[in-house]
């Protein structure tokens, strides 16, 4: 009789290792986290964007996106400016250095996942989503704040070139 609990734990460990491996590869190749790379991709495709819309696009809290943008600005990858008509609004745009980093960055792990997932029949997508939500419940992880970005660690810190948090 198969041990489904052990099989499930092994599958979870493989997912964690894939996510961690991708995060380290991103850090080595681009010096960015997956969340930071996603922000740069959105700014490249959408152009200059207010921080509130950027936070919504990556499904992060406003405070988190502000810290993330701080780090990207310190690295010279984005620039921001206050709105002239409403000082509460802050506009963010990708810099030429940010575009260069983006060009050399590998694909995000979720890019391939989303492509393959979208090709599954709707009933299978629903089944997988329900199973994952059940796993969240079994792990008592429902209160953990998370965005739809496969990333590890703090999304507001730039990793060092060896893939560790800086």
Q: Which of 10-21 are b and which e, b meaning 16 or more Cβ less than 10 Å from the residue's Cβ?
A: eeeeeeeeebee
Is residue 97 a contact partner of residue 77, using CB atoms and an 8 Å limit?
Answer: yes
Token reading at 113:
């996942």
- Residue 166: the pLDDT is 44
- Local confidence pLDDT in tens for the 166 residues of the chain: 679 999 999 999 999 999 899 888 888 888 888 889 999 999 999 999 999 899 998 888 888 899 999 999 999 999 999 877 777 788 999 999 999 999 888 888 888 899 999 999 999 999 999 999 999 999 998 888 777 777 776 655 555 544 454 4
DSSP 110: H
Burial (CB count <10 Å: 0-12, 13-18, 19+), residue 123:
exposed
- Residue 165: the pLDDT is 45
Token reading at 162:
């060896």
DSSP 3: -
CA gap 165, 13 in Å, rounded = 21
The pTM score is 0.77
- Residue 31: the pLDDT is 86
Three-state DSSP at 120 gives coil
């Amino acid at each position: 009789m198969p041990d489904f609990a052990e099989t499930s734990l092994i599958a979870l460990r493989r997912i964690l290792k894939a996510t961690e491996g991708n995060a380290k590869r991103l850090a080595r190749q681009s010096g960015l986290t997956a969340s930071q790379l996603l922000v740069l991709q959105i700014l490249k495709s959408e152009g200059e964007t207010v921080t509130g819309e950027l936070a919504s696009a990556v499904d992060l809290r406003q405070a988190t996106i502000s810290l993330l943008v701080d780090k990207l600005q310190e690295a010279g990858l984005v620039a921001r400016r206050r709105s002239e008509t409403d000082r509460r609004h802050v506009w963010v745009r990708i810099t030429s250095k940010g575009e260069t980093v983006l060009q050399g960055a590998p694909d995000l792990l979720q890019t391939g996942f989303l492509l393959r997932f979208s090709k599954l029949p709707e009933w299978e997508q629903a089944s997988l989503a329900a199973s994952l939500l059940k796993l969240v419940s079994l792990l008592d992880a429902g209160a953990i704040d998370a965005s739809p970005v496969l990333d590890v660690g703090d999304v507001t810190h730039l990793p060092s070139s060896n893939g560790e948090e800086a």
